[in-house]
Structure 1
């Protein structure tokens, strides 16, 4: 979701940098990059360690971030280039589709006002799995909910953690970098923007003709 479908990582930037300032520090660019695609708990540990304040309670910080990002999501969500067109094409073709995100359910419910509640047959949130990305569980859960073998699925990801999760699960992977660069990886097809992706490309990633 974040960085793949909607340009929300910049909203996370606002919240994270504001919290760091409230804690009397400055979040480094390296720590911010490391947070992309990870769970809230992991992000808060990275934040605290980066500020030299590992003793802080990650739950307290997560609650602050959650409240602030909800405000930002209600007013500032924008589609990533090509994302809406590709999603509409996939849905029009009747392809089972799941949203697999590290964000929590409450935040996703707000995002769905922009994404469309009918855009997905299943939604897997970061707080609804035992192990978040880069663990394969989120994508394996999505495939199970869709009733589709994971080997017949294409995962579209923008973060190293998401790519690792999808690869470990056994999905074909289309990578579209957003906030952080993605190194070339065996088994991963990379495009600069989803404007370069269509149903033919998705089919080719599974080694089959479209339709």
Structure 2
């Protein structure tokens, strides 16, 4: 099992909304809804590029913006991280069944370490962070890396994602994909099974996705 984090397991996209709008305000602007949708599921470098372009300030240092966002989101994660509906129950069922499980996220390691206080450090056999791979989602590398760490062929893995970027990454890697939209609508996609909430997902569904 390969779980995305933001918007899939935890309702953290709202916290990113806060941090991103605060950064835009520091720069004297307001982040557009279109830019915010584009950011969902991207790595930090791409996210900062989108912010700067949306504000009409492409000359800004992306690393300085990333450092500001990282510090702010760490504070928000420590106090405001909440599970998505059905996510905790599904994760517990997967672990109780002894299924190898990885967290595959675009977030960086420092932020993930804070999130693991909520998610549980024993909930995953492997953790792949956005700052630990050469190519971020939608490239397949994050999911290919996770499958390799688990010692499981990626074709025998189910990836659970909430964003178009994450879905594209998992599909490109060759995993079966279960999509659960959060902040951004997901269009119907060949090879992707979509549910409104993880409350509708169980071990039987995951097995069925692998046997398609």
How does the TM-score come out when normalised to structure 1? 0.98
Partner of 1:148: 152
Partner of 1:117: 121
For 1:40-66, what per-residue CA distance to the aligned partner results, in whole angstroms no more than 9, with x for missing partners? Answer: 000000000000000000000000000
Offset, 1:15: 0.2
Measured in 2, the distance between the counterparts of 1:172 and 1:58 equals 34
What runs of 5+ residues in structure 2 fail to find an aligned partner? none
Measured in 1, the distance between the counterparts of 2:147 and 2:19 equals 32
Q: Which of 51, 57, 60 is residue 47 of structure 1 equivalent to?
A: 51
What runs of 5+ residues in structure 1 fail to find an aligned partner? none
- Tell me, what secondary structure is at the counterpart of 1:118? helix
Measured in 2, the distance between the counterparts of 1:176 and 1:37 equals 13
Q: Which of 78, 95, 101 is residue 82 of structure 2 equivalent to?
A: 78
Measured in 1, the distance between the counterparts of 2:41 and 2:62 equals 17
Partner of 1:11: 15
Name the structure, 1 or 2, with higher relative contact order (CA <8 Å, separation 6+). 2
- Tell me, what secondary structure is at the counterpart of 2:186? coil
Q: Which of 166, 180, 183 is residue 179 of structure 1 equivalent to?
A: 183
- Tell me, what secondary structure is at the counterpart of 2:167? helix
Measured in 1, the distance between the counterparts of 2:58 and 2:167 equals 28
For 1:3-49, what per-residue CA distance to the aligned partner results, in whole angstroms no more than 9, with x for missing partners? Answer: 00000000000000000011000100000000000000000000000
- Tell me, what secondary structure is at the counterpart of 2:121? coil
2:102 matched to 1:104? no
Measured in 2, the distance between the counterparts of 1:36 and 1:26 equals 17
Measured in 1, the distance between the counterparts of 2:39 and 2:132 equals 19
Measured in 1, the distance between the counterparts of 2:157 and 2:132 equals 21
- Tell me, what secondary structure is at the counterpart of 2:122? coil
- Tell me, what secondary structure is at the counterpart of 2:103? strand
Alignment coverage as a number of residue pairs: 208
Partner of 1:37: 41
How does the TM-score come out when normalised to structure 2? 0.98
Measured in 2, the distance between the counterparts of 1:151 and 1:25 equals 44
Q: Which of 181, 200, 206 is residue 204 of structure 2 equivalent to?
A: 200
Q: Which of 133, 137, 160 is residue 133 of structure 1 equivalent to?
A: 137
For 1:170-199, what per-residue CA distance to the aligned partner results, in whole angstroms no more than 9, with x for missing partners? Answer: 000000000000000000000000000000
Stretches of 4+ moved more than 4 A in 1? none
Offset, 1:98: 0.1
Q: Once superposed, what is the RMSD of the aligned Cα atoms?
A: 0.6
- Tell me, what secondary structure is at the counterpart of 1:42? helix
